[in-house]
Amino acid sequence: KLAKKVAALGLEDRTIIKTWARASTISPDMVGRTIAIHNGKVHVPVLISENMVGHKLGEFSPTRKFRKHGGKK
């Protein structure tokens, strides 16, 4: 379904695509597009580059926020 949305947009169209499909694999036709990936709370916009091809979308939208390790106050 996500691949159909990417294919439907023209090459010059820079519309941000919102998705909840974090398990989708990044394909070469997504390169150069901005995809807003849901992290459980908000959509995080990610610009897809060539070295991301073959990875999953969820790898680029962290679901947890690292606060800080405990230490001296």
- The whole-angstrom separation of Cα 12 and Cα 62 is 29
Roughly how many angstroms between the first and final C-alpha of the chain, as a whole number?
50
Identify the burial level of 13 via C-beta atoms within 10 angstroms of its C-beta, where 0-12 means exposed, 13-18 middle and 19 or more buried. Answer: exposed
- 1-13 per-position pLDDT tens digit: 888 888 888 777 7
Domain that holds residue 45: 1-60
Residue identified by tokens 């070469």 is 28
The pTM score is 0.83
Per the structure, the count of domains in the chain is 1
58 or 72, which is more confident? 58
Residue 38 host element (H or E): strand 34-38
Domain membership flag for residue 71: no
**pLDDT tens-digit series, residues 13-55:** 788 999 999 999 999 999 999 999 999 999 999 999 999 999 9
For residue 43, the domain's CATH number is: 3.30.860.10
Place of tokens 């150069």: 32
